[in-house]
Structure 1
């Protein structure tokens, strides 16, 4: 009994030392009493069988730091003052800008519309009072017909042209938001891979795909990724980059997450994940959305969904117009930093490049017209710009010429579309290439693709004049020159593919654009060999180059399912032209079937791609859709 009394006394002493009521009693506004049964909970919590939680300190009595309060008040006053200054600036100066724009429009269109603009303009006068200025400003906003780059309620810049009235719904003062806010913070960019795998895949992306039609400003992306800022980094963009990298990984388990086995199969997990994230981000699209749409376009091409890829590329271009990327941002009062301007330039011109390449890939018209834009191109002559910006300049100038070649093939003929002019422009492009991108067998992967694309462009330009399929009696000397140019460049593409393999381990790490390049070289060689026209290169060299192209297509099929379609077409062409025996001559142990379904016919060094193994269970996200993959783990490893 004495022991029990002592315990009860100690219990009462312990309870009396509690200065705060538990959260349950506080919410019910009742006195917090000890449990008669002697438990550590209060009587109410014990009766309700709930956890009795007592906070360590009383938030209601917490004193705030006076310095913090003063700082917040000062910041509030500063923002109010800036807001008022901006409002005054808009009221006093916008109507003058509108007047200038109106006068400029009158000068530009006076010849076309006659005396339509000869009447006095309501904006020619100068505001004489605050009321007049405010009235004129509103009239200009209603009918002034200016180009507007406004910010919406979340600080996202949007472009409206002179015919639109939608800019009236945008905030006049929201450019402050664009300057002060850079997005929502994020602490987790992806939830499917361990950090080690994420770093491995990002390294693959930076190494093999980043500088081929570059659409991401690496410095801005890594800065925001580190800081958790979503201005130039987003979960969607991260997933798109990881998906493109997984497709070229030497890990079959990773490739299974990014590639389908057949074009008719459902989209793989990572592609579906990207599409789901896109639906969310389209509620408030921004720079990262335009970048992600470009990567989604590439990954749908890789899995042989050409229509979706084409439409995603078009969506990226339209979003670039929506964000005003096609206009010279320096003409708008947006207070963008030099880094912001560089990002906007890279993203827009990457949309331009992608539009040109899809037009080339599918043989369709381009929708981004140079006459519709005045966006500045990145300055490749500056000494302080990054390699990715220089690469963007090189790709843009090359694909602009290729776009004109596509115009010729689609039936458009103007003085700037003359073959001699375009041939000289291509040669000038090659001669003026930045020394960083001169070709050598030890160059970076994107440089190989750049030179392969140049060779393919020469083929596309000269192939219509090469007179393939015509009777030898009607062939001209100019046609013979064009044919030789085509054959020489086709063999050069095959050489680049072999040297890429020797330097970088496997050609399946190449970007999706390699498919069109290699297929162009292969079909040119097949046509020339079928007509038994040796030209300046011997038949043996052409046959060897064709074998390399066929083997390259076979390897590309590992990372680009769409290659299977091209391979079947070429295989059928070889059979119809009875070239099976010809191609097999001099190729010991090789035949057409093995070239199109076996390993590369190269005698090469050990692959350089890092052979890192990751447990499949760590890579596959949980869920019923992966039960089959988990049950066949040995198949992927």
Structure 2
């Protein structure tokens, strides 16, 4: 027999048994009865007034208070929102019952709404541009999106691109002004000139980096002619090999916003551009073609070889460029007009002249390009108001630092300075010829005359154009190569005191590089800056006993360490050479400075350099080590002027051998006989020449 389910006691049953005592009508409303709040229940008992249907009048629920008065908020008591509130009335503080209207939450909401609407408008603008732009411009914008740019940055980037729907032929004067200021940002770009990367935005950015930071130190091509030719597909002033060489140079300054896009590093991308350029030049050589663009590409590639520490490959690229220039008779001024190259041919010749002399100056050799005559120097007409330089940092330009480029004026001074440098190299490195004091004095006077002709706008002030810094650094380095061999000698007949002149030049180099570092950072410094700061460090080592010399020496080494992040192999070479020279000359350093030299190369082989205390001056230790001073006898001034080594002037080699040309005091092929750099030229470890050529 089934049992009936138990009857659950309902809450309404319990409440209906005592409705009279609670003021409820006997009929009750079950679950539909009025639910009263605690505050309303007593009021219902006192005011038990029935309505028309015999039901109690509904009790109004108390509304929530959005804000309390100032006293209640301070005391954290309940406030009913009235004026005055019941709490203040009960306390007798009606006058203090003031409400502070708080609109902060409303302001935040309005601001959020405005930002959201603005972002929506920007996104709609980007979408509209992508719908109406051609495939090249749309690909460039898509590349920037993948780089992680914000909507505001994308809008600014789109503003730099040609207007959507405007044909290429309709580029006007306004666009040409942007070409001179910002490289290739207003032209179609190098997408059709390379097969390495098919990302228009990245390729444009690499070309911009080259023209912003590297073009001025090697003006071997006409930027307007190149950009116009790249836009129009003109192979007279633009070629795939030249574009790939420029892209490889731009990679040395490129820092991708998304490093994961290049898991093997940007260096691999630069190597791919270099390999593509070499392959294309090799094809031209097989066909027997010699073009201006190939010469320009090889000169630019030589700069990258120096930055990578590949001096042999650099020397080969420059030699090939010189051979092409001779075959094209670029040294004959009449040939330029006959061939129709005009100023572009002359610019190529003098750009190669600079590249060859700069490489020879860096490595301490005679230049390869030694022609009987020279064509006249090219004319560089000023572009006027559009001749503006704006520094490029990452993917943006710092428009607040707009400076007149003064390209024509700087290049003219550059030609004159390198002609003096060419004579310095011939005087010091020509086989069987030693520079006399008369030669040194004459060359020094030419340098001073060049310096005195420089206008004030060519001074390396903060935020100057980078080519001005490079020009002045080269000037001071030329003074060092003249007088450094005589710093501790008793040579008579010099018009100035060598040590004083060298210290002034080293101080100027350190000062200029400090300004450049503060303004733009050594990230955007060319490889030659490392050579100049190394030369300054060598001067401070020579006078290490003097006040502040150790401080300046350590500052130079810090700059070399910083540049080692971007030019690793040359910086490591500079460190090894400097520390080995100190070790060989038995020059000691305080152990307290060891930490400032840690980080670039292992210091374990050089532990003998660091001592806990230095009992005598640095020059006494050097003299003791060289045998020029007996123990216990103080150093005399005449002894201090004796040479530290018997090597060839301008060399860091301390050997007596004079059979081979001197190796330069700058970073390059130095001190091979000591075994410090057995693989610097990579003859036994790098078969690049055999594989590629």
What's the TM-score, normalizing by structure 1?
A: 0.55
SS in 1 for 2:572: helix
Structure with higher Rg: it is 2
Q: Is the 8 A contact 1:205 1:244 kept in 2?
A: yes
1:354–1:278 CA distance, 2 compared to 1 (3 A) = same
* Residue 411 (structure 2) aligned to one of 381, 389, 392: 392
Q: Which residue of 1 aligns with 2:194?
A: 190
Q: Is the 8 A contact 2:191 2:199 kept in 1?
A: no
Q: CA deviation at 1:570?
A: 1.5
SS in 2 for 1:459: helix
Q: Which residue of 1 aligns with 2:470?
A: 449
Structure 2 portions without partners, runs of 5+: 1-188, 388-404, 604-693
Q: Which residue of 2 aligns with 1:503?
A: 519
* Residue 458 (structure 2) aligned to one of 418, 428, 437: 437
SS in 2 for 1:373: coil
Pick 1 or 2: higher relative contact order, CA cutoff 8 A, min separation 6. 1
1:570–1:416 CA distance, 2 compared to 1 (3 A) = closer
1:330–1:289 CA distance, 2 compared to 1 (3 A) = closer
Q: CA deviation at 1:233?
A: 0.9
Q: Is the 8 A contact 1:246 1:255 kept in 2?
A: no
* Residue 567 (structure 1) aligned to one of 572, 575, 584: 575
Q: CA deviation at 1:597?
A: 8.6
Q: Which residue of 1 aligns with 2:638?
A: none
What are the within-5 Å matches in structure 2 for residues 510-549 of structure 1? 510-529=525-544, 532=545, 534=546, 539-540=547-548, 542-549=549-556
Q: Is the 8 A contact 1:237 1:288 kept in 2?
A: yes
Q: Is the 8 A contact 1:553 1:563 kept in 2?
A: yes
Q: Which residue of 2 aligns with 1:159?
A: none
Task: Please list the CA deviations of residues 336-367 of structure 1 after superposition, one character each: whole Å capped at 9, or x if unmatched.
Answer: 3xxx4221121101111122122222222223
Alpha-carbon distance in structure 1 between the residues aligned to 2:444 and 2:215? 29
Q: Which residue of 1 aligns with 2:205?
A: 200
Q: Is the 8 A contact 2:248 2:271 kept in 1?
A: no
1:277 aligns with 2:280: yes
Q: Please, which moves more after superposition, 438-447 or 508-517? A: 508-517
Q: CA deviation at 1:450?
A: 1.2
1:567–1:333 CA distance, 2 compared to 1 (3 A) = same
Q: Which residue of 1 aligns with 2:483?
A: 462
Q: CA deviation at 1:559?
A: 2.7
Alpha-carbon distance in structure 1 between the residues aligned to 2:327 and 2:550? 50
1:574–1:492 CA distance, 2 compared to 1 (3 A) = same
1:333–1:276 CA distance, 2 compared to 1 (3 A) = closer
Alpha-carbon distance in structure 1 between the residues aligned to 2:364 and 2:264? 30
* Residue 445 (structure 2) aligned to one of 421, 424, 427: 424
SS in 1 for 2:216: coil
Q: Is the 8 A contact 2:247 2:270 kept in 1?
A: no
Q: Is the 8 A contact 2:190 2:204 kept in 1?
A: no
What are the within-5 Å matches in structure 2 for residues 249-398 of structure 1? 249-251=254-256, 259=267, 268-282=271-285, 283=287, 284-329=289-334, 333-334=338-339, 336=340, 340-369=341-370, 372-379=372-379, 387-398=406-417
1:332–1:341 CA distance, 2 compared to 1 (3 A) = closer
Task: Please list the CA deviations of residues 530-566 of structure 1 after superposition, one character each: whole Å capped at 9, or x if unmatched.
Answer: xx2x3xxxx22x3332222212222222332333222
SS in 2 for 1:210: helix
* Residue 493 (structure 1) aligned to one of 496, 509, 512: 509
Q: CA deviation at 1:405?
A: 1.5
Alpha-carbon distance in structure 1 between the residues aligned to 2:263 and 2:482? 36
1:402 aligns with 2:421: yes
What are the within-5 Å matches in structure 2 for residues 18-417 of structure 1? 188-191=192-195, 192-251=197-256, 259=267, 268-282=271-285, 283=287, 284-329=289-334, 333-334=338-339, 336=340, 340-369=341-370, 372-379=372-379, 387-410=406-429, 412=433
Alpha-carbon distance in structure 2 between the residues aligned to 1:455 and 1:328? 32
Q: Is the 8 A contact 1:217 1:388 kept in 2?
A: no
Alpha-carbon distance in structure 1 between the residues aligned to 2:495 and 2:319? 37
Q: CA deviation at 1:580?
A: 5.9
1:528–1:350 CA distance, 2 compared to 1 (3 A) = same
Q: Is the 8 A contact 1:498 1:548 kept in 2?
A: no
Alpha-carbon distance in structure 2 between the residues aligned to 1:387 and 1:255? 40
Alpha-carbon distance in structure 2 between the residues aligned to 1:432 and 1:448? 16
* Residue 497 (structure 2) aligned to one of 481, 487, 499: 481
Q: Which residue of 1 aligns with 2:670?
A: none
1:290–1:466 CA distance, 2 compared to 1 (3 A) = same
1:374–1:576 CA distance, 2 compared to 1 (3 A) = closer
Q: CA deviation at 1:592?
A: 2.2
1:597–1:198 CA distance, 2 compared to 1 (3 A) = farther
Q: Which residue of 2 aligns with 1:591?
A: 596
1:208–1:383 CA distance, 2 compared to 1 (3 A) = closer
Alpha-carbon distance in structure 2 between the residues aligned to 1:188 and 1:510? 30
Q: CA deviation at 1:424?
A: 0.9
Alpha-carbon distance in structure 2 between the residues aligned to 1:250 and 1:512? 17
Task: Please list the CA deviations of residues 62-103 of structure 1 after superposition, one character each: whole Å capped at 9, or x if unmatched.
Answer: xxxxxxxxxxxxxxxxxxxxxxxxxxxxxxxxxxxxxxxxxx
What's the TM-score, normalizing by structure 2?
A: 0.51
Alpha-carbon distance in structure 1 between the residues aligned to 2:495 and 2:558? 30
Q: Is the 8 A contact 2:460 2:512 kept in 1?
A: no
Alpha-carbon distance in structure 2 between the residues aligned to 1:292 and 1:563? 25
SS in 1 for 2:461: coil
SS in 1 for 2:210: helix
SS in 2 for 1:211: helix
Q: CA deviation at 1:269?
A: 2.6
SS in 2 for 1:441: coil
Alpha-carbon distance in structure 2 between the residues aligned to 1:274 and 1:208? 21
Alpha-carbon distance in structure 1 between the residues aligned to 2:599 and 2:327? 50
Task: Please list the CA deviations of residues 195-248 of structure 1 after superposition, one character each: whole Å capped at 9, or x if unmatched.
Answer: 111122112111110000211210100100111111111111111111111112
Q: Is the 8 A contact 1:346 1:389 kept in 2?
A: no
Q: Is the 8 A contact 1:186 1:230 kept in 2?
A: no
| Greater percentage in helix | 1
Q: Is the 8 A contact 2:441 2:495 kept in 1?
A: no
